[in-house]
Structure 1
């Protein structure tokens, strides 16, 4: 973060729960969106069973697999879809199909089966399912839901009389950044599908490494900071595939998959087949990402590396004071922006 107009000593008077402020330098301009290169993580995993040697052996074995692959699959993490109520991508899917009413009702009325929300919120959502928006507004404590409900109630129409324009006006009560998050979540869901299908296809052909380029793939190149740059794209041809794979091994090129949008250039070969298969299975077309009813949410799309390089260091292995008889370990690693620490941790914490 950037803080202007204060002296170093002033920071000592700032108290924020679970936050430590440390001065790293001064600049003539503030930190802003687009400046972030990545994030450094130090994460403690607790409740580990086994001897120190056994735990270290497991950690080293997993790290060796990651190194051999060239990194971890660059999935979007679960938080992209909503941790307590994973419907963000479902709302986005409704919007892509032009079903604004469906998007609004999913956001307002969907009740998660795992009871992750309070009884008060669940009862309010039930009222919404029944079309009783006025009573739902009285009971709903969540501010974004209340913003939408206010718009639906103030038109003074029955649920059956509400028009598409009424639902559009209600949806527009949400901040634009939140609206875009729904689209981005659905794009992330589709990307994860493509990535999963590619992994399954290549697992059937053990001769082909996951991080190797195939003819028809689209690769991006490393920028001046050493990170993958989706603006620098090239299609892999038969003539160039060997040279590009040499660049991949040196960390200078990266195979990509699409974050679908209306301007997406689909791959060819195996990758192209997978991309088209996902679109067909979902029943959508690239042109659907140009939203006529909500043009501000239209997305051109981009491409994203299928693998993110990561070096995980085991900083400390010790007794777990919170779980007697168990161990804890501190893992340290860096990820470029847009990649998820939860995806890295899953490789170390999954049961299989």
Structure 2
């Protein structure tokens, strides 16, 4: 019979993740100590792995008369959307003209494919020098990239600063790999969906669904966590007191949204709808989708706490504005606790037509492919462990890595 653990740290419980499917002790350590410790290689729908050391990977897609240009990039420690913004600026085209299959982690080395409607001969000379981005291949093609049009990603992850003996590290990882291969890994939405430093994205989404823009904005501005810088905490306290003019000056320049929102509320007191429009539409959607993810995570956790392991659960319906024929009683109870009804989702749709929250069934379990321990190496007074695995799209590497590490502090562990 499967033995599960229910000792997830408080930071994970806030986002609905409460259970480990593997009973073995973790190895601790840290991920992403350096971008080279987290390597992501995109896998196309036909199974082509865009390997870092690959050559002529796009030759089979080449068509001199193609209406698109495919760009194979390797980004290092840069957000996917920031990279796209830089490329768009170089090409003098709108950012939304650059297509990509999926977002990749910022603090990583990631190889992925982009698609632009610009002739290939006009590209190479204009984007040869972009900070933190290496252009690997450029070919004309009729192959079009769209969001979600990929098989998945291959991950090679180094877990550093592991304070255990070498053989114990190997034994624990191999034991966890065996457990995951037998029972599957719970398909939780990962930590980055909610924010690691400030896991509040889903809370803002909850208030947005309820039509309470004031609480949504005040949560974004004023909710602080001990791990934030003292200057930021001070600014958030000013915002909580309604001293928006002072708060706008106190927030660091990099917190652009906070500064703009405070300026608007100082000039237009109580106009939270105007303040909310500071957020780009993509971020507004993310808030609502994060709440949807939170309900899924809590539902899956509750099912597992009742003794069901992920492979026994066919799938869980993600709640949305089109009420499904079947929905888990657990999900309904969570909505009831939060004071949310399906009418709230429909009202949100009428207020913000571009925010669609569709119901769909998400798998409760995934089995990583080619999951293996690559090596364990001595590093000063500690060890590092390198693991490799393939995940299909819509699955989170951090959800698998938490099973291996079982971290007590997510921030210190690099999540």
Shift of 1:325: 3.7
Runs of at least 5 residues in structure 1 that lack an aligned partner in the other structure: 204-208, 214-254
The question of whether the paired residues in 1 share the 8 Å contact of 2:197 and 2:227 is answered with no
The question of 1:125 aligning with 2:236 is answered yes
Aligned to 1:101: 214
Aligned to 1:232: none
Shift of 1:196: 0.4
The question of whether the paired residues in 2 share the 8 Å contact of 1:314 and 1:329 is answered with no
Alpha-carbon distance between aligned partners in 1 of 2:127 and 2:236, rounded to the nearest angstrom: 45
Alpha-carbon distance between aligned partners in 2 of 1:100 and 1:8, rounded to the nearest angstrom: 43
Alpha-carbon distance between aligned partners in 1 of 2:172 and 2:360, rounded to the nearest angstrom: 36
Alpha-carbon distance between aligned partners in 1 of 2:200 and 2:315, rounded to the nearest angstrom: 26
**Out of 92, 99, 102, which is 2:205 matched to?**
92
Aligned to 2:321: 262
Alpha-carbon distance between aligned partners in 2 of 1:277 and 1:36, rounded to the nearest angstrom: 35
Q: Show CA shifts across 1:274-318 (max 9, x none).
A: 232222222222222221443433423222100012135335324
Alpha-carbon distance between aligned partners in 1 of 2:333 and 2:257, rounded to the nearest angstrom: 36
SS of corresponding position for 2:354: helix
Alpha-carbon distance between aligned partners in 2 of 1:12 and 1:91, rounded to the nearest angstrom: 38
Aligned residue-pair number: 289
Aligned to 1:134: 245
Runs of at least 5 residues in structure 2 that lack an aligned partner in the other structure: 1-113, 409-415
Shift of 1:12: 10
**Out of 23, 26, 34, which is 2:137 matched to?**
23
Q: Show CA shifts across 1:59-80 (max 9, x none).
A: 22111111111x2100011111
Residues 293 and 41 (structure 1), Cα distance of their counterparts in 2 relative to 1, 3 Å cut? same
Shift of 1:56: 2.3
Alpha-carbon distance between aligned partners in 1 of 2:249 and 2:287, rounded to the nearest angstrom: 26
TM-score (norm 1): 0.73
Residues 351 and 108 (structure 1), Cα distance of their counterparts in 2 relative to 1, 3 Å cut? closer
**Structure with greater Cα Rg:** 1
Aligned to 2:265: 152
The question of 1:274 aligning with 2:330 is answered yes
Residues 351 and 178 (structure 1), Cα distance of their counterparts in 2 relative to 1, 3 Å cut? closer
Aligned to 2:93: none
The question of 1:182 aligning with 2:293 is answered no
Aligned to 1:227: none
Residues 46 and 200 (structure 1), Cα distance of their counterparts in 2 relative to 1, 3 Å cut? same
Shift of 1:6: 4.6
**Out of 223, 246, 263, which is 1:110 matched to?**
223
Aligned to 1:212: 312
**Out of 368, 373, 379, which is 1:310 matched to?**
368
Q: CA RMSD in A?
A: 2.7
Alpha-carbon distance between aligned partners in 2 of 1:278 and 1:266, rounded to the nearest angstrom: 18
The question of whether the paired residues in 2 share the 8 Å contact of 1:180 and 1:297 is answered with yes
Alpha-carbon distance between aligned partners in 2 of 1:110 and 1:12, rounded to the nearest angstrom: 40
Shift of 1:133: 1.4
Alpha-carbon distance between aligned partners in 2 of 1:33 and 1:111, rounded to the nearest angstrom: 33
Alpha-carbon distance between aligned partners in 2 of 1:146 and 1:259, rounded to the nearest angstrom: 34
**Out of 283, 299, 307, which is 1:202 matched to?**
307
Alpha-carbon distance between aligned partners in 2 of 1:16 and 1:329, rounded to the nearest angstrom: 30
Residues 108 and 351 (structure 1), Cα distance of their counterparts in 2 relative to 1, 3 Å cut? closer
Aligned to 1:294: 352
The question of whether the paired residues in 2 share the 8 Å contact of 1:63 and 1:312 is answered with no
Q: Show CA shifts across 1:156-183 (max 9, x none).
A: x4xxxx2xxx211110121000111110
Shift of 1:347: 0.8
The question of 1:337 aligning with 2:396 is answered no
- Relative to total residues, which structure has the larger helix share, 1 or 2? 1
SS of corresponding position for 1:297: coil
The question of whether the paired residues in 1 share the 8 Å contact of 2:244 and 2:266 is answered with yes
Shift of 1:143: 1.0
Aligned to 1:60: 174
The question of whether the paired residues in 1 share the 8 Å contact of 2:162 and 2:382 is answered with yes
